[in-house]
Every structure is written in C-alpha cells, then in structure tokens.
Amino acid sequence: MKVGIIGCGAIANLIVNNILATEKNITIEHFYDRDMEKAENLASIANGIAVINIEDLIDNVDLVLEAASPSSVNEYALKVLNKGKSMIIMSVGALMDENFRNEVVETAKKHNAKIYTPSGAILGLDGIKAASIGEIKEAKLTTRKSPRSLGKDVNKEEILFEGKASEAVKKFPFNINVAATLSLACDMDIDVKVIVDPKVDRNVHEVVVTGDFGKFTTRCENLPCASNPKTSMLAAFSAIKLLKHFNETLLSGT
Ligand SMILES: NC(=O)C1=CN([C@@H]2O[C@H](COP(=O)(O)OP(=O)(O)OC[C@H]3O[C@@H](n4cnc5c(N)ncnc54)[C@H](O)[C@@H]3O)[C@@H](O)[C@H]2O)C=CC1
Ligand SMILES: O=C([O-])CC(=O)C(=O)O
C-alpha cells in the first residue's frame, strides 16, 4: 500500500519513523506541507519526494494521511476522495460541520473510498463502537492540559471551556480533535470541558459514557510529542496501528 502524507510535523514524523522500521508492505514516499522545508526533511528520512502540487501526491498513492490542520481537511479532502483515494484524517474537528461532513461522506461513497478517523489521543472508542449498538445516552470529555499545550499563561487551574464539541473544536482547533472523534462515534454533539492546569505536564483526557450497556469511564495521561506539546504521542501511535491493521489478518477489538 502506498501512503502519502499531508502535514509533515510531529505526528507525521512519528508515523514515518515507525512504519519505515517495521512495515515492508507499506511505502510512504510522497509528502506535502505548506512549509516546504518540513516536507523535504521528512522526504529525506523516507527516501521519498516532497511534492509542490497536492495532485502529485494524490495521483501517486492509494491512501492519503492528513496530519496537518482542520483547514487542510477543508482544502484537500474532497480532492482526495474525488479521485477514489481513501483518507485517514487526524484533524477530525473539521468534520463537526455537518454540511461539510455529509459532502465528504457522499463523495467517498460515490468514488468507493473510505474515511478513517483513528482513536487518536483518547481511550474508549472500542467501547463506544460496541455501545452504539444500543442507545448511547450521554458522553462527556474532560481535557486537562498544561499552559504550554494550551498557549496560556496561568499559575492556577482554570476552566477555559464548557459546552458542546462543535464549539470546542472552533475554539481549540489544535487541542480537542478528540471531542470530534468521540462525537462521530457517539453520533451526538458531546459535552466537553477544557481545563488549563499548571500542575500537569501531560495531556489528560477523561471520557464518561452512559447508555443501554451501562456506564464506563476512561482516563489517559498522555506524554506529549517532543516537537509539539499540544499533541499526544498516543495520537500518532493510533494512526500507526490503524495503518498496521490494513496488513493484519487477526484483528482484535471493535
Ligand atoms: N485526532 C487526534 O486525536 C489528534 C489530532 N491532532 C491533530 O493532527 C494534526 C497534526 O498534528 P501535529 O503533527 O501535532 O501538528 P504539527 O503542527 O506538528 O504539524 C502540522 C504540519 O502541517 C502543516 N500544515 C498545516 N496546515 C497545512 C495546510 N493547510 N496545508 C499543508 N500543510 C499544512 C504545518 O506546516 C506543519 O508542518 C493537527 O491538526 C492536530 O490538531 C493532534 C493530536 C491528536
Ligand atoms: O493530542 C491530544 O492530547 C489531543 C489533541 O491535541 C487533539 O485532539 O487535537
């Protein structure tokens, strides 16, 4: 399988280094970034090509992995899907806009392509997918990050946001894509709280879900990526595992 990457930052670097070292059947050779130097750096690690035109990436791969920004999803998703290429989307917040999401899904259907949103930086997507066979009644996400992650200068804990995921992704486009991933899995605009906390140096996400199945709570304390404190390493790991799934025969978990 040939994969092309849009956005050559923290997540893309972890993915490329891992896949290069562990997977013979996945090649990642085409890279695009609005910062050409970033694309060239990653291309040199992978012995690949930094493309200037996005079409040169789309035309030469089977699957496009977006790890750039919500606005990049608005810019490129329809171009990718219109050419029948499947897509892994990390900047899931872009899909909270219902009209855009419907257009993306319809385009993918028309061209027989798939859209994957990995579990990213949170725990519990497996349980939610199973729980969604019954009714999911309530889902809440509480995210706690350091002032450095959230770009705030505070010396005590502060609630920055309480409301719906659709609003959260607009206010924190680079910090709370997980709220969108949860909303898609639950098929509802979930409740979100964002807390800046000078006492933490990890990205902490708590998920509480109730439904016909009962109730579960998950909590993770994620180490951030060295090159981007907003982003948890687990988010990159989840995309790596999804890529590996394409090659696996025995698949565990929903
Ligand atoms: N789904 C999830 O659980 C998570 C999603 N994310 C999201 O994944 C994305 C990537 O994260 P990182 O690798 O940490 O970011 P990063 O900031 O380290 O790298 C992003 C790269 O994309 C490039 N870029 C941004 N917009 C672009 C555009 N319109 N066209 C071309 N290139 C563009 C930037 O120049 C940069 O090199 C972000 O949107 C982030 O918010 C991050 C963590 C968890
Ligand atoms: O990596 C994280 O902890 C979560 C994150 O930035 C996002 O969902 O955008």
> What ipTM was estimated for this complex?
0.99
Place of tokens 């992650």: 149
Show Cβ contacts of residue 70 under 8 Å, excluding neighbours closer than 6 positions: 91, 93, 94, 169, 173, 177
pLDDT at residue number 240: 98
**CA 134 remoteness from chain centre:** 26
Written as six digits, the tokens of 123 are 């725990």
Distance 69 CA to ligand 1 centre (A): 4
pLDDT at residue number 241: 98
pLDDT at residue number 49: 98
pLDDT at residue number 76: 98
pLDDT at residue number 170: 98
Asked if 205 is an active-site residue, the reply is yes
Residue identifier of the C-alpha nearest atom 35 of ligand 1: 35
Residue stretches of the chain with pLDDT short of 50: none
pLDDT at residue number 86: 98
pLDDT at residue number 97: 98
Q: What are phi and psi of 247, to 5 degrees?
A: -100, -5
pLDDT at residue number 32: 98
pLDDT at residue number 103: 98
> Facing residues of 87 across strands?
64, 115
Nearest-atom number in ligand 2 for the CA of 235 is 1
> Facing residues of 50 across strands?
31
Contact at 8 Å (CB) between 17 and 47? no
Calpha distance 12→6 (Å, rounded):
8
